[in-house]
Structure 1
Amino acid sequence: MTVTIEVVTGEDNKATDVILREKQDRIDEAKTLYGAYVIETNRKDLTSEEIWHLYMTLTKVEGAFRALKSDLGLRPIHHQLARRTAAHLFISVLAYHLYSAISSHFQKLETPDRCQQFLANSKPTPDSQ
């Protein structure tokens, strides 16, 4: 609920009352957005379709890295040297591209859930680490 809060004070500057008032215009504005996606951007050169496509691409990338972290057990690694950080980023991007290729393969076969099964079964065994 969107409200304004007014604190009433007495002569001794102590609070004597608190008044809550609804901001009807803010409530009406919020109701117009219920159930809607709102994507804010500063890219005025893109159409709404292009913005949506970029947003969906971001969602796919986030999902891929979530899968890499959960299904393959990848975890953050902290590096002290810039070249190691760059190498780690390079390997992560390679892993993302490999995941995308595998996912695309299963999408073409119309079995997208098999991708998760494939990755889950591809975890290294304790003796192969």
Structure 2
Amino acid sequence: MKKTSSIFIEHGFHYIVVSRKRKRDFDEEKATLIKDIPGQRVKVQKVTVEETGEIELYCHSQLREKKEQAMQDSFSEKYETALNSLHAGLSKKGTTKNYTKVLERLGRIKEKYARAAQHYEVTVVPDDEGDKANSISWKRVEKANSQATHPGVYCLRTNLTDWNEETLWRTYTLLTDLESVFRSLKSELGLRPIYHRKEERVNGHIFITLIAYHLVQTLRYQLKAEHINDSWQTIRRTMENQQRITVILRREDGKTIHLRKATNAEPRQSVIYKALEISAQPGGVKKTLI
């Protein structure tokens, strides 16, 4: 990443990227609140790196913290369950008790649950001869400046030294949001790969993509005005289980009625329809007699 940054600088380009450094620093007292929505608050701390002249922007997200904390708890629970199983086996007949073998099994457990294992100190106590393991004990010692001590914190790097914290963060979220929407369009709408060979058809394909993007952003703009700040993927997942169905009924005179309508909207879907000021029964009801 640093090599890429130097190439940008050499050609006079500006960049905002996610830092891959594992160490997480964040001082809440020095941080600035830039998003004040309950449960979704975001604070950022701007730091200048003297060696490179870069800006490091440490960001703390409540939503991200909740997600990472849940992941940490899950990993820790699985790791401790594995340790308990290994410890319990030392007092059971027919299980491995050889000290070296127990250490090997412990190593495999640590490798499997590496994200949790780094925050634990594990001790294997041998017997007097040193051949067998008597017990296994552990205690949680969280690694400093890690995800465990700073859940929800991530770092951005940039050479835009004259931008303030809010501008940097909102520009980055705009870029990631744009990338996310285009990924969605290219997968669900089949806008990629492009199989056209004629230039005018390729241009038409790209034009349709841009129209779709503008439609997505228009919908999201209207939803944000009603305090619905979900991502496009979340909106799609919310709406995808409402379907349009056709019911076929045969009359006594032999003719067939085709009745086409949408299924009833769920409460969350109704909220989105209301925010967009459109009917919760898109397409209405269509009745065809054949």
Following superposition of structure 1 onto structure 2, how do residues 1-129 of structure 1 map, counting pairs within 5 Å? Answer: 30-33=22-25, 34-35=146-147, 36-77=153-194, 80=197, 84-109=201-226, 115-116=235-236, 117-118=238-239
Structure 1: state its 5+ residue gaps: 1-28, 123-129
Judge conservation of contact 1:72–1:120 (CA < 8 Å) in 2.
no
Aligned 8 A contact 1:106 1:112 in 2? yes
Structure 1 residues 54 and 103: alpha-carbon distance in aligned structure 2, compared to 1, 3 A threshold? same
The count of residues paired between Structure 1 and Structure 2 equals 94
Offset, 1:88: 3.5
Q: Percent identity?
A: 34
Whole-Å Cα distance in 1 between the matches of residues 155 and 227 of structure 2?
30
Computed over aligned residues only, the root mean square deviation of the Cα atoms, in angstroms, reads 3.4
Q: Would the aligned equivalents of 2:181 and 2:213 in 1 still touch at CA under 8 Å? A: yes
Return the alpha-carbon distance in structure 2 between the equivalents of residues 89 and 120 of structure 1: 29
Report which of the two has the higher share of helix. 1
Please state whether the residue corresponding to 2:192 is helix, strand or coil. Answer: coil
Aligned residue type for 1:48:
E
Describe the shift of the 1:82–1:70 C-alpha distance in structure 2 as closer, same or farther (beyond 3 A). closer
Higher strand content, 1 or 2:
2
How far is the alpha carbon of 1:78 from its aligned partner?
5.2
2:241, 2:229 → 1: CA distance? 14
Structure with bigger gyration radius: 2
Residue 181 of structure 2 aligns with an amino acid whose one-letter code is: A
Q: What is the CA-CA distance between 1:52 and the residue it aligns to?
A: 0.5
Mapped partners of 2:189, 2:228: distance in 1: 20
Report if the CA contact (8 A) 2:196-2:202 is conserved: yes
- State the one-letter code of the partner of 1:31: K
CA positional deviation for 1:98: 0.7
Report SS of the residue matched to 1:43: coil
Task: Decide whether the 8 Å contact of 1:79 with 1:85 is kept in 2.
Answer: yes
> Residue type of the partner of 1:94?
I
2:191–2:209: 8 Å Cα contact kept in structure 1? no
- Tell me if structure 2 keeps the 8 A contact 1:65–1:96: yes
**Residues 3-36 of structure 1, C-alpha deviation per residue, up to 9 Å, x if partnerless?**
xxxxxxxxxxxxxxxxxxxxxxxxxx84345343
Q: Which structure 2 residue ranges, 5 or more long, are not aligned?
A: 1-20, 26-145, 148-152, 244-290
